[in-house]
Amino acid sequence: MDINHSDNFVSKLSNMTEDELTNVDLSFHLVRLQKEADHLYQSSCIQLAPDVIKWVKKNIVKTIQGLKVVVDNDREAFLVGDYNHEITVNDQIAKFAYAEYEEISRKVGKLVTALNSHDPEYPEKHTKFQIVKLTCNEQSAYFCYYRGVKKNSMRSSKKLMVLKNANQFVFAEDTVIDLGGNVDFFIVGDHIFIINVKSFENAFDYRDHIAELRDQNLTQIVSMPFFEGETSNKELFEESCKKFIHSRGLAQIKPETLSAVQENFQDRCAELSRIKSNVPEDEFEREKYMKKYGTIWDLFEYIDLDNRKIIFIEGASPRALIHFFADKIVRSFLTEDFKVAVAYE
């Protein structure tokens, strides 16, 4: 369901009054990620005083209201765009349809299971993030703050933290929890809505998933006919692509795009041949022509246009080929120059 739909729980929350919030149930959880454990997540449910619960609810409503912008006729709405492995679009909430990714869907399931089964031996000092679950009329949303807890080293410090209890001041507890502030991401329905991409990726160990998607796409690319032959050096190409700087671009390539690459490779090579053969003789015109096709020109170093094969050499950058395989090379509407789409986004 669209987050701006009136029936969406987060949309409802953003419009709730203080009185309406009294009907919303809240649970507060400390969570940590355990990469090597059978249970990926471990959690503890923290009991909050009634006035603190009231404050947290109001703070979340204020926070999600702050994510809205005026779109037309003074109507406010959330600006949402699809999550992109490669780039972060500022001033938008990134929507991630986790149900479409088996690995992340599994991790979300494990997280929810951990929130419903609190560990009495949970080590608070190892907390990685906090989650506030809000529920009303059988609808729920999970709001994540990617932060740990603070330790008050009372006895060893030159400064002490004390709190007033009744008529005297006593030492503060060892564990101090920050409440409120910016929500890093929230989960509602089958989607994760991301404000801080880095925090989302840390919470779900998503860099490993990006590497998996990269490797899957690489395997498919180097198995295509145009990578046959020794001069293609597919092993060198794979090795250079596995540097993390290239991983996101490769992970972003969709299966249908790779299918189109293989199906249309011969036609694209024919077009590249025409571009290369039509270089003007006049020096000034040649400079303009090469500037127009600047991004495409880089491909001539990597494609044997006569034999319709990839050529890759040691020490070369795979960036131009990745842009080609990802269908990122586009013609500018205004200048007609060819650019890489990532530069516009």
The DSSP annotation for 244-295 comes to HHHHHHHHT--HHHHHHHHHHHHHHHHHHHHHHHT--SSHHHHHHHHHHTHH
pLDDT band at 341 (very low <50, low <70, confident <90, very high): low
212 and 200 assigned to the same domain:
no
Is 169 a domain residue? no
192 and 284 assigned to the same domain:
no
Domains of the chain: total: 2
The pTM is what? 0.77
192 and 217 assigned to the same domain:
no
Is 160 a domain residue? no
20-29 per-position pLDDT tens digit? 999 999 999 9
Instruction: For the chain, give the percent of residues with pLDDT over 90.
Output: 43
Residue type, 80: V
Is 155 a domain residue? no
273 and 214 assigned to the same domain:
yes
Domain of 267 in residue numbering reads as 208-343
133 and 42 assigned to the same domain:
yes
Maximum distance among all Cα pairs of the chain, rounded to whole angstroms? 92
Residue 2 three-state SS: coil
255-311 per-position pLDDT tens digit? 899 999 899 999 989 988 998 898 898 989 988 888 888 778 888 899 999 999 999
Residue 203 three-state SS: helix
56-71 per-position pLDDT tens digit? 999 999 999 999 988 8
- Write the CA distances from 147 to 29, 130, 141, 156, 292, integer angstroms: 12, 7, 19, 24, 48
200 and 85 assigned to the same domain:
yes
For residue 340, the model assigns a pLDDT of 63
Q: Which residues 6+ apart lie within 8 Å of 21 measured at CB?
A: 54, 57, 58, 61
Of 92-96, 192-196, 234-238, 245-249, give the lowest mean pLDDT range.
245-249
